[in-house]
Amino acid sequence: MDTYGIERLGIINAKAVYRNAAPKTLVEKALARGEGTLMNTGALVVKTGKYTGRSPDDRFIVDEPSIHDEINWGKINVAISQEKFDLIYNKITAYLQDREIFLFDGFAGADKDYRLSVRVVNELACQNLFIHQLLIRPTDAELASFEPEFTVIAAPGFKCIPAVDGTHSEAAIIISFERRVVLIAGSQYNGEIKKSIFSVMNYLLPKNGIFSMHCSANMGAAGDTALFFGLSGTGKTTLSADPQRKLIGDDEHGWSDSGVFNIEGGCFAKCINLSREHEPQIWDAIRFGALVENVIIDENGVPDYNDKSITENTRVGYPVEYIPNAELSGVGGHPKTVIFLTADAFGVLPPISKLDLNAAMYHFVSGYTSKLAGTERGITEPQATFSTCFGAPFFPLHPNVYARLLGKKITEHKTNVFLVNTGWSGGSYGVGKRMNLKYTRAMVTAALNGDLDNVPYQHDELFNLMVPQSCPGVPDEVLNPRDTWADKAAYDKVANQLAANFEKNFSKYEGMDQAIVDAGPKARK
């Protein structure tokens, strides 16, 4: 039996090793092993148990001499010792002995000049199916000469012992940059695998002068590229899956001197309240070869996408080619437009505003949104949060590294930047309603087409934003959030509090240009 070198990882006596098995084989294995069931569309449906979202408190970076001074240590990038890493590593590889092992060898990064060769080792066939569809799949020739530069070992059946292993719970996601290994224990949530690889790329790419980004990307018929930044649940996947534009990727990209490239080969979309009417491309992508997480299906395999009894963070992973108008090369030119997405649970930010360079830097560093229910464990209703670079949990380096790269890129390429609120209108969460998706799409289309270049703007003094006063396909009153609130005094109070929160959050960033600080909201004292 060919073990494909896994004994070098310390995994010996494997019962069987399946390398880059076809989706059909992986689905059959998953069904035979009781890992999931089939939906009526042919998609494989699994339940991920206790962990239905990322577990940020269980993520660690090994504190190693070569990277100690580079990592932005703190509540997000938490250190763990080399000794504890070695202890857990040895336990996991021992746990995987005498089991069936599933390998995927592939790439992160569609630009061949900057891609990373990644080997993913799974104990579950369903997780191997997921990463097979989410990373970039090698050709036969590439597979024949493949040498992994980074290895991810995912063993959700292995449970850590916090008192012994130095973890916070039974789960642990640990990155060792010196060993070039990621360990994932205790959690079956597939997002841990993909985001660990993304975190690795966010360390490596800036070293080559590449701006690594938590964003989706698409391009128009004329080749004009657009980027959509935002945390999970703000609309990156939904808004980038535009039937009038080619999808480059839905979540992770790099911006080099040549243009934009997708880090992945697939998409990981939210399923909650999914409908064919509003998101036809995602709906149709849920077919054989796709992996669906925590969606309730009936005895006939029919899904109920509105059922959140397991979690609101129901998900589907599928290859990018399942989107009919995907750009299969995974690359595009320099972006003409950048859109920052936020889901404002307070309902006070304008639905769209235009940002100059300093305002763009301010809002990129701030990364304001609301964490939506289910995206992380313990979040049961939206909470206001500031996530640096619209993805703080995935960025190991100091935020200034990424902010400088953004400023450099948008200056060099004269890129237009907009802030789009996909959150609440007419009141805060529980009173107002989520922004009409039809209106959001119309605003995004107008921004991409240049329709907002010559319309009148009004300066919002509180949030220090330039707000367009007309937009094709959108009622004028929707553009000014105060006009949508029945209680204007309540709007003023809530808006001022959010502006103050922006100021308080930004005060922690030392050494920022005063012009960038001045571009932010100005609360009334």
Residue 372 has pLDDT above 70, yes or no: no
Distance from C-alpha of 429 to C-alpha of 233, rounded to nearest angstrom: 15
Closest Cα to residue 239, out of 386, 439, 467, 484?
Answer: 439
Dihedral class, residue 110 (left if φ above 0, else alpha if ψ from -120 to 50, else beta): alpha
Q: What is the pTM of this model?
A: 0.93
Look at residue 34 in the predicted model and tell me its pLDDT.
Answer: 98
Q: Are strands 252-256 and 335-342 parallel, antiparallel or unpaired?
A: unpaired
User: What is the Rg, in whole angstroms, of the alpha carbon atoms belonging to the chain?
Assistant: 23
pLDDT on residue 278: 86
Confidence band, pLDDT 50/70/90 cuts, at residue 374: low
3-state DSSP of 469-511: CCECCECHHHHCHHHHCCCHHHHHHHHHHHHHHHHHHHCCCCC
Across 85-100, average pLDDT:
98
Q: What is the mean pLDDT of residues 199-214?
A: 97
- For 296-319, what is the mean pLDDT? 97
Residue range 6-33+56-208 in CATH 3.40.449.10:
yes
> What integer pLDDT is reported at residue 81 of this predicted model?
98
Q: Does residue 373 have a pLDDT over 60?
A: no
- pLDDT at res. 429: 86
CA torsion angle for 130, 189, 195, 241 (degrees, to 10)? 60
Mean pLDDT of all residues in 294-305? 98
Residue 438: Cβ-neighbour burial (10 angstroms; 0-12, 13-18, 19+): exposed
Instruction: Please give the positions annotated as active site.
Output: 54, 195, 214, 232, 236-237, 251, 315
Average confidence (pLDDT) over 454-479: 96
Neighbours of 90 (CB within 10 A): 11
pLDDT at 380: 59
Is the pLDDT score of 228 beyond 70?
yes
Q: Does the pLDDT at position 377 exceed 70?
A: no
pLDDT of residue 410: 96
> Taking 70 as the threshold, does the pLDDT of residue 107 lie above it?
yes
pLDDT for residue 424 is more than 80: yes
**Percent of the chain, pLDDT > 70?**
98
* Residue that wins the pLDDT comparison between 182 and 392: 182
**pLDDT band per the 50, 70, 90 thresholds, residue 430:** confident
Query: Does the pLDDT value for residue 123 go beyond 60?
Result: yes
- Tokens matching residue 109: 């990064």
Q: Which of 157-166, 217-226, 236-245 has the lowest mean pLDDT?
A: 236-245
pLDDT of residue 328: 96
Selection from 103, 139, 150 nearest residue 2 by Cα? 103
Q: Which of 201, 213, 200, 224 is nearest to 405 (CA)?
A: 213
N-terminal to C-terminal alpha carbon distance within the chain: 72
For the chain, give every domain's residue range.
6-33+56-208, 211-265+329-518
pLDDT at 210 over 70: yes
Burial of 230: CB neighbours in 10 Å, binned 0-12, 13-18, 19+? buried
Confidence (pLDDT) at 263:
98
Q: Tell me the mean pLDDT in the region 115-137.
A: 98
What is the average pLDDT across 457-470?
Answer: 97
**Which tens digits make up the pLDDT trace of 323-343?**
999 999 999 999 999 999 999
Distance CA 19, CA 466 (A): 53
Instruction: Specify the pLDDT at position 495.
Output: 95
Please check the confidence at residue 191 and state whether its pLDDT lies above 60: yes
CATH number for the segment(s) 211-265+329-518 = 3.90.228.20
pLDDT attached to residue 120: 98
What is the overall mean pLDDT for the chain? 95
For residues 245-264, average pLDDT: 96
Above 70 in pLDDT, residue 379?
Answer: no
- At position 363, the amino acid (one-letter code) is H
Segment 426-437 shows an average pLDDT of: 91
DSSP calls for 179-217: TTEEEEES---THHHHHHHHHHHHHHGGGGT-EEEEEEE
Using the predicted structure, report yes or no on whether residue 434 has a pLDDT greater than 60.
Answer: yes
Query: Phi first, then psi: what are they for 24, rounded to 5°?
Result: -60, -45
For residue 375, the model assigns a pLDDT of 52
- Give the integer Cα–Cα distance in Å for 239 and 363: 19
